[in-house]
């Protein structure tokens, strides 16, 4: 028997922790890539760079963003 205390994670727990960490990383990447976090990023930027400004509501933000994308499609495929 080894001299390990109960707080030392075993190999199965370490693998599980890695899988969870990888899953969180993938979720972060996909939500960032798809723009799901755009409003949260906008609000954080506004608070950090323009603390006196009042942020748009989430609905206003998405309407403005969609209108800008429609007016200036750039390199989008559709």
pLDDT in tens, 21-47: 999 888 888 877 777 789 999 999 999
Q: Is residue 37 part of a domain?
A: yes
| Three-state secondary structure string covering the chain | CCCCCCCCCCHHHHHHHHHHHHHHHHHHHHHHHHCCCHHHHHHHHHHHHCCCCCCCCHHHHHHHHHHHHHHCCCCCCC
At 24, list the tokens.
């969180």
How many domains, the chain?
A: 1
What is the average per-residue pLDDT within 59-63? 95
Q: Is residue 54 part of a domain?
A: yes
**Domain encompassing residue 26:** 11-71
Q: Is residue 24 part of a domain?
A: yes
Q: Is residue 1 part of a domain?
A: no
pTM: 0.58
What is the average per-residue pLDDT within 58-78? 85
pLDDT at 9: 77
Q: Is residue 74 scored above 70 in pLDDT?
A: yes
């Amino acid at each position: 028997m080894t001299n390990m205390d109960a707080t030392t994670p075993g190999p199965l727990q370490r693998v599980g922790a890695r899988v969870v960490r990888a899953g969180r990383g993938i979720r972060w990447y996909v939500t960032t890539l798809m723009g799901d976090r755009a409003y949260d990023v906008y609000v954080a930027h506004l608070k950090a760079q323009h603390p006196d400004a009042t942020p748009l509501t989430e609905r206003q933000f998405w309407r403005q963003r969609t209108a800008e994308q429609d007016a200036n499609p750039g390199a989008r495929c559709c």
